[in-house]
Structure 1
Amino acid sequence: MTDDVCVLLPTYDEAATVADVVTEFRDHGFTNILVIDGGSTDDTRERARDAGARVEIQSGSGKGQAIREAVREHVDAEFVLMADADGTYRASDADAMLEPLRSGTAEHVIGDRFADMHDDAMTGLNRVGNTIFNSLFSLIHREDFGDILSGYRAFTVDSFKRLRLSADGFGIETELAVECARHGVRTTVVPITYLPRPDGSNTNLHPVRDGGIILMAIYRQAKTSNPLFYFGSAGVASGLAGGLVAAYVAYDWFANGISHNVLAIVAGVGVILGVQLLIFGVLSDLLVTLHGETLDRVEALEREMPAGADTSSEEATEKGVTPTKDEGCVGPPEQ
């Protein structure tokens, strides 16, 4: 059964591969295939339509904006199976990706490319970068999603709409992982095969530029998930810098009798700022912990409360009817 699934393929200049990708998904029984195009300068859109896909042109730019717009405005199914249109993912992995959603065990599924990655599928620099980003994400957000930068995902439309997404470019995968961890979206990881890009297909990913964007996205969103790391790391850096400057000032004073008044002030400011940031990080982490515990208690109370138990008085008030004494309210004295 594939009527409940929309296959979402964001594209930009993917004429060399998009038709083959659409055809492969159609051969596996998927008929609802949506290509959201970011203004390709080649014939990507024409080839996608000829292969049987529905094509929409995004109003903005970037992969993240394309995905947000597609899901919120053009998807009419319960589940979304998102993949790249570059031929690096296999449609044969789709059933494994969708099974946790259909069984109700997960709301968001990430395809782990490292489970079966072909030798030429990723450069050595990209492998190192992915390893660093995944480790940093696990440290900050206390979740191990295996491969947070994977472009092969499956999720429910309802869970997607609960996420606060703003990334426009390739940072969207990182933001999806962060938001799933933050909002408690049930997420699971499924092993998939990751293939090298076919000949003639050029990547739109720039390792250094997009790697920097991803790194900043992971760090920036730590301020609400792990504020102790966010402020603490800045505090440690400031404190260490101040300490090193102070050590130089002290050495030059005792060894050569040369004073550095300005550097001494800079060192003091650095150390004090570092201590303040660490304290602020500890207090912020405490607030986040207490907030999470409060939300857990509220959700537990909502689950325990019988359906409709507290609605009768509200409904009566809306209709202009005064509750009787039996309902726990004191009415006017009887004549």
Structure 2
Amino acid sequence: MQVAVLLPCYNEEAAIAETIAGFRQSLPDARIYVFDNASTDRTVEIARSAGATVRSVTQQGKGNVVRRMFADVDADVYVMADGDLTYDPTAAPEMVRKLWDEQLDMVVGTRHHDAKDAYRGGHVLGNRLFTNLLSWLFGRSFSDIFSGYRAFSRRYAKSFPALSEGFETETEMSVHALELRMPVGEVATRYGARPEGSESKLSTFRDGWRILRTIGTLFRVEQPRAFYGTAAATIQLAAILIAIPLFITYFQIGLVPRFPTAVLVTGMTIVAVLTFFAGLIISAITRQRREVRRIAYLAQPAPGSPADR
């Protein structure tokens, strides 16, 4: 079993050496990669000195880094963690063992923190809200959809499209697993405070809005019948409410004096019907796309399968 540890980094000179050392101790046979996202400090120099294989990604954004990581690295199991020392490297062996022994495609390291500065209150609340939203939209979810600490099978890595650019990539990862009905698991991990000199790159409101937009986009793309069906029903309901006074007047005097309103109602009804059928057509296209992703997924052997042993 070949294990690759993938560490996306940006200006983490204060933590990268200790992060690499921690994963090397926990997974001594793994190959450690540092994917530097155009750092302006000594991150690259320190990572190379610590013995990691360093790759550079010039396009800013974690999603761009994840895209390169899965494309460039070939392994049986991928362990992804931030290079800021917030994730506990000692949990990695359990995550790898669970993924391999239970033949899972993704294991999420759910964060539990004791340090006051480890996880801001706004982020905790946002995580809960988005987790519940994802569960409502897609039927099931994870305990911590924004965790950057995950183990993946080769099946997952080579079928994940990685279309996001920034921190919304964790949401895309979760939806990808849910949509293909992959076997997944979770392992509780300690989440620590950043070391002195390391700063969070996550903006609560800016990235929160991007994550919400990503969930909405994924819902529209992956669940088009529900999305367009809801839109069609909403438009049609509004048309009916607007038409009620027209019907009352018609039954009273036998005329429709508010002709522009009647035209509006007719137009809204036509739009609702077109929206509904657009959802059906896009749903068929989505099914074909999902089949293609499923075939790409099945092209790789399952973790822990006889083909891999």
TM range (shorter): 0.7 to 0.9
Contact 2:7–2:35 (CA under 8 A) maintained in structure 1: yes
Could you tell me how far 1:105 is from its partner in structure 2? 2.9
Distance 2:32 2:53 in 1: 6
Match of 1:225?
222
Distance 1:239 1:9 in 2: 50
Distance 2:141 2:101 in 1: 22
Could you tell me how far 1:28 is from its partner in structure 2? 2.1
Distance 1:193 1:271, change over 3 A: farther
Residue 165 of structure 2 is aligned to residue 165 of structure 1: no
Among residues 190, 206, 213, which one is paired with 1:193 in the alignment? 190
Could you tell me how far 1:280 is from its partner in structure 2? 5.2
Among residues 129, 134, 151, which one is paired with 2:126 in the alignment? 129
Match of 2:55?
56
Q: What is the number of residues matched between the two proteins? A: 285
Match of 1:7?
5
Distance 2:231 2:136 in 1: 16
Residues 55-91 of structure 1: per-residue CA shift (max 9 Å, x gap):
1112533211212212221x24311100011121000
Classify the secondary structure of the residue corresponding to 1:27.
Answer: helix
How large is the RMSD of aligned CA atoms in angstroms?
3.5
- Scaled by the length of structure 2, the TM-score of the pair is 0.77
Classify the secondary structure of the residue corresponding to 1:88.
Answer: coil
Residue 135 of structure 2 is aligned to residue 141 of structure 1: no
Classify the secondary structure of the residue corresponding to 1:221.
Answer: helix
Match of 1:213?
210
Contact 1:232–1:281 (CA under 8 A) maintained in structure 2: yes
Task: Tell me the amino acid that sits aligned with residue 200 of structure 2.
Answer: T
Could you tell me how far 1:277 is from its partner in structure 2? 3.5
Task: Tell me the amino acid that sits aligned with residue 85 of structure 1.
Answer: G
Contact 1:80–1:157 (CA under 8 A) maintained in structure 2: yes
Query: Which of these two proteins has the greater Rg computed from alpha carbons?
Result: 1
Distance 1:248 1:97, change over 3 A: farther
- Scaled by the length of structure 1, the TM-score of the pair is 0.72
Residues 197-231 of structure 1: per-residue CA shift (max 9 Å, x gap):
22321111122221122112212122343223322
Task: Tell me the amino acid that sits aligned with residue 176 of structure 1.
Answer: M
Task: Tell me the amino acid that sits aligned with residue 162 of structure 2.
Answer: L
Match of 2:298?
none
Could you tell me how far 1:249 is from its partner in structure 2? 11
User: Which runs of no fewer than 5 residues in structure 2 stay unpaired?
Assistant: 248-256, 295-309
Distance 1:125 1:237 in 2: 32
The structure whose RCO (Cα within 8 Å, separation 6+) is larger is 2
Distance 1:271 1:206, change over 3 A: farther
Residues 152-187 of structure 1: per-residue CA shift (max 9 Å, x gap):
000112321122221121121111111112223221
Contact 2:140–2:178 (CA under 8 A) maintained in structure 1: yes
Distance 1:291 1:175 in 2: 16
Residues 229-263 of structure 1: per-residue CA shift (max 9 Å, x gap):
3224434554576678779999xxxxxxxx99867
Distance 1:55 1:88 in 2: 20
Classify the secondary structure of the residue corresponding to 2:5.
Answer: strand
